[in-house]
Amino acid sequence: MRAALAAFLFAALCGTAFAQQSAPPADTAKEALPTPKDPVAAKRAVALGAELRCLVCQNQSIEESNAELAVDLRRQIREQIAQGRSDREIIDYMVARYGDFVLYRPPFKASTALLWVGPFLLLLVGVIVLRRVLAGRRRNAEERPLTEAERREAERLLAGTGKTE
């Protein structure tokens, strides 16, 4: 039993060591850079990469991101440009594969309506809440005459005694 376990562990360690030696380097972002051989294609790849959102980072374009998925998407864009596809075809392919979220400017439709209308709704709610708060403060701040107890308290405080009844 021990011999079988030792053989299994040895095989697992050898397999891990082999996989690490044959794996590509972790820094594959250099592979995704457009080649200077075709400056027009490189410019197209950069422009398309700037229009698509990195699905890992979510706040960067795939052109700016060094995430593994962004590197893969840039590579796919270059391959499709090399195949002669138009910009629209490449973007349609990415949307079909990853959904509208991959676009920085998703189209206005039922599934993305909240993305487009949401900020305006939040602004409207904020204005309504602000108006109500200010109106409440205005009502509370209106002048009303002091009661006799409040007047005596104010006179005592102004006189400097500072003691309450």
* C-beta atoms surrounding 78 within 10 Å: 22
Segment 139-162, tens digit of pLDDT: 877 777 788 998 999 999 998 865
Confidence of residue 126 (pLDDT cuts 50, 70, 90): very high
pTM of the model: 0.52
Q: Return the pLDDT at 157.
A: 92
Beta bridge partners of 53: 61
Segment 61-114, tens digit of pLDDT: 898 888 998 899 999 999 999 999 999 999 999 999 988 888 878 888 888 788
Q: Which amino acid is at 152?
A: R
Q: Return the pLDDT at 6.
A: 53
Segment 22-65, tens digit of pLDDT: 444 444 444 445 455 778 888 999 999 988 988 888 788 898 88
How far from 63 is each of 23, 69, 149, CA to CA, in Å?
24, 11, 72
Q: Return the pLDDT at 105.
A: 82
Phi and psi of 128, rounded to 5°? -65, -45
Asked if 29 contacts 66 with a C-beta cutoff of 8 angstroms, the reply is yes
Asked if 62 contacts 70 with a C-beta cutoff of 8 angstroms, the reply is yes
The CA distance from 78 to 96, in Å, is 18
Alpha-carbon Rg for the chain in angstroms: 33
